[in-house]
């Protein structure tokens, strides 16, 4: 989760909220991609989670990692009540932030090509390894914490997370698990205009469960098999239905920026930030803040930073801000972290691929899309929709994505295009067997019913 926005410009009308999103429009020549990924820090000696301040053995904690990265990169510290809780790169060039349970996140800079995002990832992991090794810390990139209970998981000192942790149990049974025990990989993509946004939003919403199945990596909970391929995705099914899900309204005739704004206005708020202080207004209406009648903050009116921060607390499968965020995939090893943006760039940044993908999904009903979303966390690629298996659909859309990347013809220094970044997911689609299923199989056989080996074999 990136840095909260600071923009004290007052909001006078709903039209300004719509306009704020519309300002994200870009000519196709200026399209960029930004990759975000999270991973679990752990102590290598005993596989324990890493608290913010470290532990009594003299081993450093999350704070020491952030301070080490700050010294190494020269990035600006982001603080909350005196605690360093992130780093901001120069000129909007990415950020490092913390999820509630200490999940370490890189929010990548907007870049032109997949080659650049792969290079960014490699540099980040090399820097992080250099900083973490003296503290005996490694990182595990899976979709769900495989070993620790929620009680064993530390909480990071960030004001908004305290507010969320208090509110989550009131609106779902799994919100705290989402906060403390999940990791994802996302890619943020641009749109040219409102019609382009709508087409991309619809295609990516419909196909988000396909990405969930391809990238599933979370079959373990508290040292045991949990019965799911993507426990992370299953957790989102009962986190907070008001702010998550498949956005059925996006497929209604006349879908627009305004329709998304209307939905967002009806999602309850978490907080209002004034200066360094997070004011807990959980459950309140942004419409009341807009009108200056928010009971918790009499006389306060909404600013543009309030709107941007509110949008960052909405968690649908695809999120609209000034770009579109693909939110359906589990974190995974580095090659999978690069494959996820390749999948969506190939589908959404090539018009022929985007149009062909729309042909695949355009006749699915809301009930079929929701049914797919509900069954994929457990069934993975064997789930079905509209009479077809997800495995078959995955193979078809991967062909489209590869063709789209080939037509983009963005070459690296060696003259190679971007299609190779899809290679790790091709055998998954062909075999119908996800990383989660491979991990579960090894748990039953090679690992003798233990999850500890996953920390050694997948450590980064």
Residue 134 DSSP class: G
Where exactly are the structural domains of the chain? 14-452
State residue 388 phi and psi, 5-degree precision. Answer: -120, 150
For tokens 């999103």, what's the residue? 21
pLDDT at position 2: 47
Q: Which residue, among 165, 294, 191, 172, has the nearest Cα to 237 in the 3D structure?
A: 172
The pTM score is 0.97
CA distance 106 to 124: 8
What confidence tens digit (pLDDT) does each residue in 244-303 have? 999 999 999 999 999 999 999 999 999 999 999 999 999 999 999 999 999 999 999 999
- Note the CATH architecture for domain 14-452: 2-Layer Sandwich (3.30)
Q: To 5 degrees, how large is the angle CA 390–CA 392–CA 398?
A: 95
Q: Hey, is 82 helix, strand or coil?
A: coil
Two structure tokens written together for 175 = 């919100």
pLDDT at position 92: 80
CA distance 404 to 255: 26
pLDDT at position 289: 96
Q: To 5 degrees, how large is the angle CA 75–CA 125–CA 39?
A: 95
In this prediction, the residues of the chain whose per-residue pLDDT falls under 50 are 1-3
Residues 6 or more apart whose CB falls under 8 angstroms from that of 99 comprise 1, 38, 105, 156, 179, 183
CA distance 119 to 361: 33
How would you write 44-58 as a 3-class SS string?
Answer: CCCCCECCCCCCCCC
State residue 50 phi and psi, 5-degree precision. Answer: -100, 115
Question: With the C-alpha atoms ordered 4, 132, 102, 337, is the resulting torsion angle positive or negative?
Answer: positive
What confidence tens digit (pLDDT) does each residue in 122-149 have? 999 999 999 999 999 999 999 999 999 9
CA distance 244 to 199: 20
Helices (H), 57-158: 62-73, 114-132
CA distance 304 to 282: 19
Two structure tokens written together for 114 = 């997949």
CA distance 129 to 411: 29
How would you write 355-394 as a 3-class SS string?
Answer: HHHHHHHCCCCHHHHHHHHHHHHHHHHHCEECCEEHHHHH
Two structure tokens written together for 182 = 């999940």
CA distance 375 to 368: 11
CA distance 96 to 38: 10
């Amino acid at each position: 989760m990136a840095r909260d926005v600071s923009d004290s410009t007052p909001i006078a009308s709903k039209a300004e909220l719509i306009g704020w999103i519309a300002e994200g429009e870009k000519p196709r020549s200026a399209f960029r991609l930004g990759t975000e990924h999270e991973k679990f820090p752990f102590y290598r000696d005993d596989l324990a989670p890493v608290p913010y301040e470290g532990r009594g053995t003299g081993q450093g904690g999350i704070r020491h990692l952030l301070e080490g990265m700050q010294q190494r990169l020269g990035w600006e510290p982001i603080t909350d009540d005196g605690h360093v809780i992130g780093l901001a790169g120069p000129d909007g060039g990415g950020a490092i932030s913390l999820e509630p349970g200490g999940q370490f996140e890189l929010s990548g800079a907007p870049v032109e090509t997949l080659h650049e995002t792969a290079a960014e990832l490699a540099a980040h992991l090399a820097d992080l390894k250099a900083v973490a090794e003296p503290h005996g810390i490694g990182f595990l990139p899976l979709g769900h914490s495989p070993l620790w209970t929620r009680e064993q998981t530390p909480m990071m000192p960030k004001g908004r997370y305290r507010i969320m942790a208090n509110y989550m149990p009131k609106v779902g049974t799994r919100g705290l698990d989402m906060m403390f025990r999940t990791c994802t990989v996302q890619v943020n993509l641009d749109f040219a205009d409102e019609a382009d946004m709508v087409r991309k939003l619809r295609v990516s919403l419909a196909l988000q469960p396909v990405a969930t199945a391809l990238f599933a990596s979370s079959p373990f909970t508290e040292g045991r098999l949990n019965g799911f391929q993507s426990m992370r995705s299953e957790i989102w099914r009962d986190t907070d239905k008001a702010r998550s899900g498949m956005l059925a309204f996006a497929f209604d005739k006349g879908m627009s920026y305004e329709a998304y704004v209307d939905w967002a206005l009806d999602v309850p708020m978490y907080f209002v930030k004034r200066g360094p202080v997070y004011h807990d207004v959980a459950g309140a209406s942004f419409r009341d803040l807009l009108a200056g009648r928010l009971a918790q903050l009499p006389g306060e009116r909404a600013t543009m930073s309030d709107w941007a921060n509110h949008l960052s607390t909405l968690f649908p499968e695809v999120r609209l801000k000034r770009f579109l965020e693909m939110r359906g995939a589990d974190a995974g090893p580095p090659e999978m972290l690069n494959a996820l943006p390749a999948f969506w760039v190939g589908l959404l940044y090539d018009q022929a691929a985007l149009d062909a993908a729309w042909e695949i999904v355009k006749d699915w009903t809301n009930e079929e899309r929701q049914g797919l979303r509900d069954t994929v966390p457990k069934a993975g690629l064997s789930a079905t929709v509209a009479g077809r298996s997800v495995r078959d659909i995955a193979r078809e859309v991967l062909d489209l994505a590869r063709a789209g990347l080939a037509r983009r013809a963005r070459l690296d220094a060696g003259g190679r295009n971007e299609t190779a970044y899809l290679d790790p997911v091709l055998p998954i689609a062909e075999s119908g067997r996800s990383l989660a299923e491979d991990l579960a199989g090894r748990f039953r056989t090679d690992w003798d019913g233990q999850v500890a080996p996953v920390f050694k074999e997948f450590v980064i």
